[in-house]
Chain A
């Protein structure tokens, strides 16, 4: 028996069965091309060889012995830095279907060792809660049947756009129109908005592919899709291009990218769609944004005016401002002034119990143009596990109570509410979005779904991949490493963006037609909603159906 000390097993030693993903390799089919190891972003695979005993059984001879042969194959690394994240790129490139990750049903002992160097586990933004979400469980049950047959989704003309921007009460609009006073700017947009994912968090190929797709939707198909830039600005040529009108420029607490924006203002050929002031992000309240140093490439450093390779944390709050009331008062007004009161300016906050208070402040602020509320399921970049799993407020009840608050005041027409946070995380994008619209949202911000649908993001709710934060995105969506992002063709992303929005539009018709709606987005049409959960129904003030 050997002494314990001489065995190379320490407190943090793990074997591959302790990992969430186990690489299965079929050596009979492997042709040793090595593509799997080359493509693996985590470098989880190493080529290795082992000696294999081949027993030699010759029955007629008394002498028995073994032969040995050398087997060349794959070995999974067992340190957490090189853990397999289950992205499956190896199986995608394998010419013989000889390799692939398998989800490990056993306990994942890696959770006990995810704090290497004293740093808690971070990952790309996913709550990792599989199964149908609350939004998935909502059904639309007010099918027009009795006095009127349902409309024809294929034949009728549908009006599906929403309004971004403050809308005056009719009396006030008429008064101002008559006296020639300022009327707040509004934009007519498609209700599904590509939410704020920054140029930096996303690779240039991904970001430009999305912009190209958005431009095609607007200019060729007439679907007024817009996208938020996220914090980090956008390339200077975009600011000086006519595509700017499809962009919601986001300003957040790090003000990254705003030097370039301010510099470009005199040369802008059109106004941006809107300005979004980010006060909070649903996935990581108390953390702010974080662009990790791995992703601060030369280009990103130039755009953001920072040194290359350093972490770029945005503070969780705007450090120069005393309170949200002051923020609302000051920032909205100064940004409105900056763009000559021609551009809607609205804040984005985390869904919280104080959302209603913020909303009421906005209602009283004549320059506020809307409110985006981000629920806890959102997030694309780096966030601490504990923040994502345990902080924040789900979006459905938050948006509902804000809408009902506006109803009580008779002002639901005035401040449009936009909802974000886990919309379409199981793929039911239109159903989720329309449910939120009928609960009272004027539009929906979508991030993750777009990455998955338009660029083939491999992340899922079982912690597959989720390494957007470390710049090793196997698809090149969230990486600033040219070797990785060149895997992604911007033209193909654009094509997928267009396909996605065309499908959403068709699905919207399939939902609206049987409800008898074709001429206005069913914002607040809560009589069409039902759910087989009495408590939820009571909370959301919709029907209980079963």
Chain B
């Protein structure tokens, strides 16, 4: 089963810290891959402005790099920074990747007149077009994200080894939020796109466990014919898209996510102050019920972090920390490793009704229960 770790702190820190937490949780899993997502980024050798999109991916050949360059130039993107990892190929399990891409771009001039929503859609379409281009060329170009202030690294292999191979310990990249997944190969092939965390328009989640409701959820999302709802090379990729659908398409508050993926029972809703609305929401979104067992950890564009459990709570996650620095992990020892100087008695393991939220101000944890009134006028 996969290992998950997330740290959110006021002061930027090296992603390598999170990899050491993965190492603490190493028992009982195969370490078949690493996925990293960083937000609130700062580079040692570049003054990064957080409104500039960062392209993250892997290029497998020189030809692919040329195509990438041409593609971005043709669209009017101006390259501002190209991060060169200090690679140690002897350590990397996959030593033949041509280039790990972390590039900062300046948006095309004519985008300045566009609305925020239009820009968000264009960014997503750019990523999708690049992905398609890679797929058409034997997978020589893999793009994980293209979004302001988000950086993603994925590679096959043992997480700490990947971190060493990319020299993530050198302190050249730091971030305020880092989420990492140590991947356990499940019933799908080892594929970079199948590695967590997943990302769409600033929203990202990662998961442990197996999503047994994957096929019905995937079929339904595909049927929506929304751009971006595609790929699905992992059974858990749909969790990210459900969160995106909840927040961006339905424009519901974050609390609705829990009600959609693990709705309350009818007899519980009968007593709930917003029961009638929530029952309708459950019926409408019935295809999106996750059956787990999963712990879902995610982050949003404003650096909000969240953790929810599925209904069965067979893979309990833990949250702990102190004002200004919080950690979430799939095992308690992961939290221990990330924020050792905290009051352990305040650690929290969400039950099946909870959503744990670390707000962007990081002052205190918000523990929200599904039994609480639903925070929307619609429900009244």
In the bound complex, do residue A147 and residue B210 qualify as a contact, i.e. CB atoms below 8 Å apart? yes
Please tell me if A519 contacts chain B, counting CB pairs below 8 Å: yes
Which of B56-64, B110-118, B219-227, B341-349 forms part of the interface with chain A?
Answer: B219-227
Chain A, range 101-153, C-beta contacts under 8 Å to B: 142, 144, 146-148, 151
CA distance A519 to B282 in the complex (A): 12
C-alpha spacing A519/B211, complex, angstroms = 12
Binds A, one of B83-91, B100-108, B142-150, B285-293: B285-293
Within the assembled complex, what's the spacing in Å between the Cα atoms of A183 and B277?
11
A148 and B293 contact, CB distance less than 8 A: yes
Residues of A within 8 A of B208 (CB): 147
Q: Is A177 an interface residue (CB 8 A)?
A: yes
B289 touches A519 (CB 8 A): yes
For residue B304, give the distance in angstroms from its CB to the closest CB of chain A: 22
Chain B, 297-320, CB within 8 A of any chain A CB: 310-312, 314-315
- A413/B287 contact (C-beta < 8 A), A148-B210, A188-B266, A527-B215 known: yes
- B249 is an interface residue with CB less than 8 A from chain A: yes
List, in ascending order, chain B residues with CB within 8 A of A156's CB: 312
Q: Is A532 an interface residue (CB 8 A)?
A: no
CA distance A411 to B312 in the complex (A): 28
Per DSSP, are chain A's interface residues mostly helix, strand or loop, or mixed? Answer: loop
Known contacts: A519-B289, A519-B310. The answer to whether A410 contacts B225 by CB under 8 A is: yes
Known: A412-B220, A516-B212. A183 touches B291 (CB 8 A): no
* Distance, CA A146 to CA B29, complexed state (A): 11
- B186 in contact with A520 (CB, 8 Å): no
Given contacts A146-B210, A147-B209, A177-B280, 10 further A-B contacts (CB under 8 A): A142-B212, A147-B186, A148-B293, A163-B283, A173-B284, A516-B291, A518-B291, A524-B215, A524-B216, A525-B212
**Known contacts A144-B212, A519-B310; A413/B286 CB under 8 A:** yes
The residue in chain A whose Cβ has the minimal distance to the Cβ of B219 is: A407
Instruction: Give the B interface residue count (CB, 8 A).
Output: 46
Please state if A177 and B378 are interface contacts (CB–CB under 8 Å). Answer: yes
Instruction: Indicate if A523 sits at the interface (CB-CB under 8 A).
Output: yes
Binary flags per residue of B122-142, CB closer than 8 Å to A gives 1, else 0: 000000000000000000000
* Residues of B close to A67: CB separation below 8 A: none
In the complex, are the beta carbons of B314 and A148 less than 8 A apart?
Answer: yes
Give B218-270 interface residues, CB cut-off 8 Å to A: 219-220, 222-225, 245, 249-250, 252, 262, 265-266
The interface on chain A, measured as residues whose beta carbon lies within 8 A of the other chain's beta carbons, has a size of: 42
Q: Is A408 close to B, CB under 8 A?
A: yes
Q: Compute how far the CA of A160 lies from the CA of B82 in the bound complex, rounded to whole angstroms.
A: 53
Separation of A99 and B214 alpha carbons in the complex (Å): 57
Establish whether residues B224 and A410, one from each chain, have CB atoms under 8 Å apart when the complex forms: yes
For the complex formed, measure the closest distance between the CB of A480 and the CB atoms of chain B, giving whole angstroms. Answer: 39
Q: How far is the CB of B44 from chain A (nearest CB, A)?
A: 38
Any chain A CB within 8 A of the CB of B355?
Answer: no
- Contacts A156-B312, A173-B281, A515-B212: A520 and B286 contacting too (C-beta < 8 A)? yes
Which of A35-43, A83-91, A164-172, A191-199 contacts the other chain? A164-172
- Given A148-B209, A518-B311, A519-B311: A167 touches B286 (CB 8 Å cut-off): yes
Contact across chains for B212 and A517 when beta carbons are under 8 A apart = yes
Considering only CB atoms, which chain B residue lies closest to A159 in the complex? B265
Q: Which of A174, A411, A517 is within 8 Å of B213, CB to CB? A: A517
* Also in contact, A170 and B250, with CB within 8 A (given A146-B187, A163-B283): yes
Q: List 19 A-B contacts (CB under 8 A).
A: A144-B212, A159-B265, A167-B284, A171-B250, A173-B281, A174-B252, A177-B277, A406-B223, A407-B223, A410-B222, A412-B220, A413-B286, A516-B212, A518-B312, A519-B289, A524-B215, A524-B219, A525-B216, A527-B214
B181 in the interface (beta carbon within 8 A): no
Check if A144 sits within 8 Å of B210, measured CB to CB. Answer: yes
A-side interface residues toward B, CB under 8 Å?
Answer: 142, 144, 146-148, 151, 156, 159, 161, 163, 167-171, 173-174, 177-178, 183, 186, 188, 406-413, 515-520, 522-527
Q: Decide if A168 touches B284 in the complex (CB within 8 Å).
A: yes
For residue A527, which residues in chain B have a CB less than 8 angstroms away from its CB?
214-215
How far in angstroms is the closest Cβ of chain B from A217? 16
Chain B residues with CB under 8 A of A178: 377-378
Which chain B residue has the least Cβ–Cβ distance from A145? B187
CA distance A163 to B266 in the complex (A): 12
Chain B residues contacting A159 (CB-CB under 8 Å) are 265
**In chain B, what residue has the closest Cβ to A224?**
B266
* Contact status of A519 and B223, CB under 8 A, knowing A174-B250, A177-B277, A527-B214: no
CA distance A345 to B289 in the complex (A): 26
Note all chain A residues with C-beta closer than 8 A to B289: 519-520
Is B1 part of the contact surface with A, judged by Cβ < 8 Å? Answer: yes
The docked-state distance in angstroms from the alpha carbon of A436 to that of B61 is 48
Q: Does B14 lie at the interface of the complex (its beta carbon under 8 Å from any beta carbon of A)? A: no
| Complex Cα gap A147–B182 (Å) | 13
Q: Which of the residues A163, A167, A186, A412 comes within 8 Å of B219, measured between beta carbons?
A: A412
Q: Does B184 contact A (CB under 8 A)?
A: yes
Contact B280 A173 (CB under 8 A): yes
* Residues B219 and A183 in contact, CB atoms below 8 Å apart: no
- Residue of chain B at shortest CB distance from A170: B284
User: Which A residue sits closest to B314, measured CB to CB?
Assistant: A148
Of B212, B250, B262, chain A has the most CB atoms within 10 Å of the CB of B212
- Is the pair A516, B210 in contact by a Cβ cutoff of 8 Å? yes
- Minimum Cβ distance to chain A for residue B98 (Å): 32
Q: Are A151 and B284 in contact (CB-based, < 8 A)?
A: no
A438–chain B nearest beta-carbon distance, Å: 9
A148: contacting residue among B1, B280, B311, B378, CB under 8 A: B1
10 closest cross-chain pairs (CB), A and B:
A410-B223, A516-B212, A520-B289, A173-B284, A524-B216, A170-B284, A527-B215, A147-B1, A407-B219, A410-B224
- Give B359 Cβ to nearest chain A Cβ, in Å: 25
Per-residue contact bits, chain B 1-29, to A (CB 8 Å; 1 contact, 0 not): 11000000000000000000000000000
A147, A167, A409, A410 — most chain B CB neighbours (10 Å): A147
Residues of A within 8 A of B310 (CB): 519
Smallest CB-CB separation from A169: which chain B residue? B284
What is the distance, in angstroms, from A348's C-beta to the closest C-beta of chain B?
A: 22
Other-chain residue from B186, B249, B312 in contact with A171 (beta carbon distance below 8 A): B249
CA distance A406 to B224 in the complex (A): 11
The interface residues of chain B lying within 8 Å CB-to-CB of A409 are 223
Q: Chain B residues near A188: list those with CB within 8 A.
A: 266
**Cα(A188)–Cα(B262), bound, Å:** 17
Choose among B208, B219, B225, B292 the residue with the greatest number of A CB atoms under 10 Å from its CB. Answer: B219
Chain A minimum-CB-distance residue to B229: A410
